[in-house]
A and B are shown apart, each in its own frame.
Chain A
Amino acid sequence: MTGRVSCLAIVLAAAVAAPVHAQRSFVFQGTVEKVNGAGGTVDVKNDNIPGWMAPMSMTYRVDVPAVLKTLKGGDRITATVYAGDTAKLYKVRIAASPAKPVQTALPPVSYVCPSPGEESFVDDRPGACPKSGAQLQAVRLDIAYKCLKTSFIRESPGTCPTDRTDLVPVTASVFWVCTNDPQREKHYLEPGTCGDGSRREKAFEVRPHGDHNPRHGGPTVFMSEDLYHHVEATLVAPTRTQPALFRVYFYDEYTRPLHVSGVSAQVVATDRYGKPTGSPVPLVLSRIRDGNAMETRLPNAAVPSENASVYFALRVKLKPSGKDWLTDHTFTSYSKEPVSKAVTPLANPRPNPPGPPASLDPLPETTQDLLAELQKNMESVTKEWQDGSLGAIWYPALRVKDVALTLQRNHANDIADSKQAQLTSAVQQVTLSAWQIDSAGDLGNKEKIAVLYDAFRAAVGEILGLYGATR
């Protein structure tokens, strides 16, 4: 995982309707992280630009491509940017003295809107949300470093303690808490001392749009102009029997999976300038558990490499009557899925809705019915596996697991004492395998499922045999 945060807002309407320089301008200051000469972009970590953008690392185009040849990593630059256009830097200049940004003890206080849909609004003074009118709330924003797959977050780069991947930069609000205080949920904007004499503890919370790290190995995450929808496109290598797969994942502003419904999309191969080189191909819903992806096979897709990038233009209609949302995607290699799914859990626990979720599909009660349920769902697992429906295999696999556990819990006495250890072993194998099949299915990991399936089937067969032997 590159750990690079990248987000582009595509402002089609503004580009067509009015010249961008007619909009309000801002002074942009930041540090160059990487120059992408081939792609004509530059990665910059910007300082806080109140009213335009909080500190974050992003990829930008420039108004004069030749300026890229003068830039290198570590350069301090200034530029002009405009409201509504977060994709391009104008009049880029290397700062007169490449001094480090002014070090302050604490990040400056910014004011953010708490209203849903307006969380990305940031200002440098107190006030009200532009739409809801709610009072802005004071926060300190800074870059923190987080495990891509868990909530572990800290203030310096390093490696994730769980899977040893590089921590990824995210924009987070910084605050201090007193965990022993009765009001332990209260956030302080400064370090200090708690009521019991202990020091306040520093904590972080990821901000909306604060984590634009790709989740599925795609090169970038793009944001729509509504500031809510995000997409990540991946190009998965062909197999012996299947051509390359173009898949696009949809997220909300917290980079959480966004269920795809009523969305249409099509992709077309292009040259480096965005000119189509083929015919548009429609995407269909992907059969994955999160339900947040669309995909299509591309039999004629070129092989991407560092020396020969492959380009695609994706057009998405979020609603049938909506306008096209166009994003351009560049691949210099096939996308590789991370080991496990990303998680952005809570920094501060929230109250749960009252009551556990109801069981959607109760299990039978008698031994005979349970065994029939076991066989039926095992057959479903086999069918999904043979059909290659890896995204759908989880349901019958977990159902088999539930039946096996119920048999052991409620009907273990149907089996002789001498066979109890065998039953325990088989149910354990079914349980572990089912959960692993669930994970591997979401990732489309055929090789792993093949091994799990064999062990799973053998254990289910053992359970059936144990109960069959007592009849």
Chain B
Amino acid sequence: MALAVTAVLLTLFIRTLHAHKPVTSKYDYNRDVFPLLREHCGRCHVEGGAAPMSLMTYKDAFSWGESIRDELTAGRMPPWPIDPRSPAVKGMHPISAHDVDVIVTWASGGTPRDWSGDIDRQLPTVAVQNQWKLGPPDLVVSMESPYILGANDVEEKKDFSIPSGITEVKWVRAADLFPETPTIVRDAIISVENGPTLALWQPGSDPLTAPSGAAFRVAPGAKLHLQIHYKKHYTQEQDTLSDRSRIGLYFTDPPPSGRELQSISTSERKGSGESNGVRILAATLPGGGRVHALRPMLDKAYGSVDIVAITPSGTQIPLLKLRGPRPQWFRRYWLQEAIELPGGSTIEARVTPLGDSSDEMKASVDRFPLQIAVDYVPQ
């Protein structure tokens, strides 16, 4: 096969290299793969984006074929680990098996550019979207000074305490982050000091608002706590970079109930992990309430996370099912439909280890202890 490929390429100029593999993919970049990469990957894998490489042109993408294949087939990318059997959550961006197959077939089959022969076809330009995705915030709070990531530093987690400037009680329906230097901001946690977590920010994710009747209460004089995970691309490793991110808060009217969104966290059950490594975590809602969102915070990669609510009568209500979640892609999953639970109900999570003996299975991230945070409005 390699000899056949060489024969085909006899007429090419010396400056043009030969493909390593025979071209067996019926899918090409221009027609089949670019639209999928743009849809599933273009939020981060774009010039100036959070990812270390763009995939938005053929020249950028084709050389990453093997990596694309590895990341997709391992389920690491795109970082949206919702199991198709999960109850619906808001802002879902799943990739279908068909789309995975098209991209992997292309990546494995010689990464052809354009089967019609029109290799110079102009594809739409994809630009990085660094903007307030929910529109102009009601309040913008900036880091007090730029943070400098020096030439010898590649990765850091930094905590910042920022006065909110709020002088009266405010009800927050959403929070967002606007990085000044998006290429080095990997993730962020926005919370009120000694108060609720307002947002778990990830590049490429859409900020979502709390549903009507649910909001976070921020007291006058509150300080905001911003934890940013900075990480340079490999091309920036020797550079000195700075960032002065801004927090945007979106306010709403006080909820009719007057009650704010609260959260409880699960504890690991005694004996958890002893049977096949499956860990069981649980939390009880003493007075009941309306569960709006879940925040699985992981200490390492797992095969699956299954979260159900169990009422005192024993009824099990599925809440969320994740497949192959990774610790670095933490999120607040807003349920499509909030679940009303009576007092004494338990939120239980079964966390199953990855099935193979990969290094990923063994590695711990040590950023968070394993727990599930439940956001609810108490009755």
Contacts and interface: CB of A to CB of B under 8 A. Distances in A.
Interface of A: 112, 114, 116, 119, 137, 149-152, 158-159, 161-162, 173, 175, 179, 185, 187, 205-206, 252, 254, 256-259, 291-292, 340-357, 359, 401, 404-405, 408-409, 421-422, 424-425, 427-428, 430-432, 435-436, 438-439, 447-448, 451-452, 454-455
Contacts of A454: 355
Nearest to A426: B84
B355 A356 contact: no
B29 to A, nearest CB: 9
B261 to A, nearest CB: 29
Contacts of B357: 447-448, 451
Contacts of A152: 63
Contacts of B363: none
B67 A356 contact: no
B244 interface: no
Nearest to A291: B1
A152 B233 CA distance: 14
A343 B69 contact: no
B2 A258 contact: yes
Nearest to A137: B14
A259 B98 CA distance: 31
Interface in B295-331: 323
18 contacts: A116-B6, A119-B14, A137-B15, A150-B67, A161-B52, A161-B53, A161-B234, A162-B67, A175-B15, A205-B15, A256-B2, A342-B20, A346-B17, A356-B112, A425-B85, A431-B97, A431-B100, A448-B358
Interface stretch (B35-43, B113-121, B182-190): B113-121
B119 A351 contact: yes
Main secondary structure of the interface of B (DSSP, over half): loop
B65 interface: yes
Contacts, number: 170
B2 A431 contact: no
A451 B355 contact: yes
Interface in B53-97: 53, 58-59, 62-67, 69-70, 72-75, 83-85, 96-97
A259 B118 CA distance: 31
Given A351-B117, A355-B115, A435 B97 contact: no
Nearest to A156: B238
A435 B18 contact: no
A349 B62 contact: yes
Contacts of A256: 2, 18, 20
Q: Which of A344, A350, A447 has the most chain B CB atoms inside 10 A of its CB?
A: A350
Interface string B23-43: 111111000000000000000
Contacts of A451: 355-357
A340 B26 contact: no
Contacts of B358: 448
A206 B18 CA distance: 10
Which 3 pairs across A and B sit closest by C-beta, in order of nearness?
A114-B14, A151-B63, A161-B234
A422 B74 CA distance: 20
A187 B65 contact: no
B17 A350 contact: yes
A356 B28 contact: yes
A173 B24 CA distance: 29
A151 B3 CA distance: 21
Nearest to B22: A357
B74 A436 contact: yes
B97 A408 contact: yes
